[in-house]
């Protein structure tokens, strides 16, 4: 069991996580399964009954979702509820009981809800394309990582979900109960006696044979360049870079600092030059994905000025690859990261995610140790790691030409 005892928050979170290696074959099943499991159970025969039970627990929230960490797909079933000190009657075991029903309370999955849940998921997948910013980003990822595991979209794609039958999903549910690794995660005002109650309902299953970090890599032969058109008013520019630096490698923290200096906030090169100096865009940022060794820049740019923006972006990248940052400049990025590390401790969700990631990577560090790692990075280390960056893909979602 992974436990974060804390008195800081007014809520308790209990989360059950089913893990398995992500594959093209299981992605659709794992996207749909949690939804059907939380539609109704043996005890709560309708979705209305289940929702009412949550409302009666002072609006407890049941969250089911499928995410990924590196190569591992995680079906996360979690319930969050206010601490018993605020309630007139006990809520802790009641919440556990609801969560247990959702996970285990099915002799078979509810067949009568299958078509509805499938429709809801397919519509959610389709509507994803309405958010042009994330749509453009995921198109870039698919272009860049064609035929690599990383391109698999955890939320599932239409072709992954459409062919699924009830029988297939029901069989897969039983298989997951039997084979998946299971983490039990608890955060809040808990003591030994409450944790014992948790153990009555849930048992972790840890086989430790899942690989998280994705080492699949490809050489950049030539820049992949793709433009799609859509009825939008602003060009969504996404640039993907191979950046072969991964979790637990020595230059992971310098790489994190490089990313922060490049596009991680308002002190960054991209923000200051592309947005502030040239007023070319409303948003621009970069992200670093240390599970894969991948970095990307995304921006919304005035359609007339895309070429200029691309030029300024290249200049900024090149600048970080050729010139040493001053200590002062680097300190801005260090402060931003340290601030972020501390701030994440003030959010129950964020601190729990960071604890969970550390447990999974088998790399538990105190806050002070994490800060120490960031503080001691030198400008030279940042410059060295910057040279590993290679532009791989330029993807633009552009306004239609009329």
Partner 1 sequence: MTYTFNEKFNEHVYHDILDNGLDVYLIPKPEFHKTFVTFSTNYGSLDQSFIPIGKNRKVTQPAGIAHFLEHKLFAMPDNTDAFEKLSAFGVKANAFTSFDKTVYLFSGTSNIEEALVYLLDFVQIPYFTKASVEKEQGIILEELLMYKDYPSQRMMYGILANLYKNHPINTEIIGTEESLKKITHTKLYQAYETFYHPSNMRLTVVGNFDHERFYQLIKENQDKKGFTRSNPVQRFLPNEPKKIVSSETTIEMSINMPQVGLGVKLDPKTNPAERLKQELALSLMLRLYFSQSSDNYQTLLKKNLINGSYDSAPIELAGMLALIITSETSNPEELKEVLTNMLINVKRKKVNEEELERHKKATLGDFISSLNSLESLNLGFQSYLSYGVSMFDMPSIIESITSKDILDIAKQIKKAQITAYTIMPKKA
How far is 22 from 124, CA to CA, in rounded Å? 20
Spatial CA neighbour of 239 closest among 278, 276, 287: 287
How far is 176 from 199, CA to CA, in rounded Å? 20
**Binding to partner 1 by residue 336, rule CB under 8 A?**
yes
**Binding to partner 1 by residue 60, rule CB under 8 A?**
yes
- Give the total of residues touching partner 1 (CB under 8 A): 60
Task: Please give the distance of CA 122 from its chain centroid, rounded to a whole number.
Answer: 20
Site string for partner 1, 261-280 (x = CB under 8 A): ----xxx----x---x--x-
Q: Which stretch binds partner 1 (CB under 8 A): 17-25, 117-125, 192-200, 210-218?
A: 117-125
**Binding to partner 1 by residue 162, rule CB under 8 A?**
no
**Binding to partner 1 by residue 373, rule CB under 8 A?**
no
**Binding to partner 1 by residue 59, rule CB under 8 A?**
yes
Q: Taking the CA atoms of 247, 253, 259 and 265 in sequence, report the sign of the dihedral they define.
A: positive
How far is 288 from 268, CA to CA, in rounded Å? 14
* Among 177, 195, 338, 361, contact with partner 1 (rule: CB under 8 A): 338
**Binding to partner 1 by residue 314, rule CB under 8 A?**
no
* Biggest CA-to-CA distance, the chain: 68
CB closer to partner 1 out of 132 and 205: 132
**Binding to partner 1 by residue 48, rule CB under 8 A?**
yes
CB closer to partner 1 out of 60 and 312: 60
How far is 101 from 40, CA to CA, in rounded Å? 9
User: What 8-state DSSP symbol labels residue 155?
Assistant: T
What stretch of H or E contains 289? strand 281-289
**Binding to partner 1 by residue 232, rule CB under 8 A?**
yes
The nearest distance, CB 154 to partner 1, in angstroms, is: 16
User: What 8-state DSSP symbol labels residue 205?
Assistant: B
**Binding to partner 1 by residue 93, rule CB under 8 A?**
no
* Among 33, 74, 82, 184, contact with partner 1 (rule: CB under 8 A): 82
Q: How far is CA 338 from CA 86, 188, 327, in A?
A: 34, 24, 16
**Binding to partner 1 by residue 308, rule CB under 8 A?**
no
CB closer to partner 1 out of 337 and 360: 337
The residue behind tokens 């309405």 is 130
Structure tokens at 14: 């209990």
Spatial CA neighbour of 244 closest among 210, 268, 220: 220
**Binding to partner 1 by residue 228, rule CB under 8 A?**
no
Contact criterion met (CB below 8 Å) for 20 and 180? yes
The nearest distance, CB 347 to partner 1, in angstroms, is: 6
Contact residues: partner 1, CB under 8 A? 7-11, 46-48, 51-52, 54-61, 80-82, 86, 116, 119-120, 123-124, 126-127, 129-132, 230-234, 265-267, 272, 276, 279, 281-283, 300, 302, 332, 335-336, 338-339, 342-343, 345-348
């Amino acid at each position: 069991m992974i436990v974060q005892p804390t008195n800081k928050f007014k809520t308790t979170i209990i989360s059950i996580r089913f893990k398995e290696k992500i594959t093209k074959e299981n992605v659709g099943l794992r996207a749909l399964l949690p939804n059907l499991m939380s539609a109704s159970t043996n005890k709560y025969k309708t979705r209305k009954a289940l929702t009412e039970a949550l409302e009666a627990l002072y609006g407890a929230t049941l969250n089911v979702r499928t995410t990924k960490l590196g190569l591992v797909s995680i079906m996360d079933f979690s319930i969050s509820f206010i601490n018993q000190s605020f309630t007139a009657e006990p809520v802790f075991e009641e919440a556990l009981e609801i969560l247990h029903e959702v996970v285990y309370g099915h002799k078979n999955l509810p067949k009568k809800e299958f078509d509805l849940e499938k429709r809801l998921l397919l519509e959610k997948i389709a509507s994803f394309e309405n958010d042009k910013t994330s749509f453009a980003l995921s198109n870039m990822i698919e272009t860049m990582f064609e035929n690599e595991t990383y391109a698999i979209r955890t939320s599932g794609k239409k072709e992954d979900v459409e062919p699924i039958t009830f029988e297939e999903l029901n069989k897969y549910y039983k298989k997951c109960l039997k084979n998946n690794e299971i983490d039990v995660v608890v955060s809040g005002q808990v003591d030994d006696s409450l944790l014992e109650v948790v153990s009555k309902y849930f048992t972790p299953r840890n086989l430790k044979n899942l690989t998280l970090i994705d080492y699949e890599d490809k050489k950049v032969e030539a820049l992949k360049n793709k433009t799609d058109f859509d009825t939008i008013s602003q060009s969504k520019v996404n640039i993907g870079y191979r950046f072969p630096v991964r979790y637990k490698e020595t230059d992971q923290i310098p790489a994190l600092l490089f990313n922060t200096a490049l596009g991680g906030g308002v002190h960054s090169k991209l923000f200051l030059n592309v947005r502030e100096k040239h007023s070319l865009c409303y948003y621009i940022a970069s992200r670093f994905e240390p599970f894969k060794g991948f970095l990307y820049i995304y921006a919304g740019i005035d359609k007339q000025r895309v070429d200029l923006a691309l030029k300024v972006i290249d200049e900024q990248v090149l600048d970080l690859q050729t010139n040493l940052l001053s200590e002062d400049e680097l300190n801005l990025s260090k402060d931003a990261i340290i601030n972020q590390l501390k701030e994440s401790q003030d959010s129950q969700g964020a601190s729990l995610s960071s604890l969970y990631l550390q447990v999974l990577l088998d790399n538990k560090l105190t806050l002070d140790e994490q800060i120490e790692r960031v503080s001691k990075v030198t400008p030279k280390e940042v410059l060295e790691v910057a040279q590993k960056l290679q532009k791989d893909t330029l993807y633009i979602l552009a306004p239609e030409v009329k």
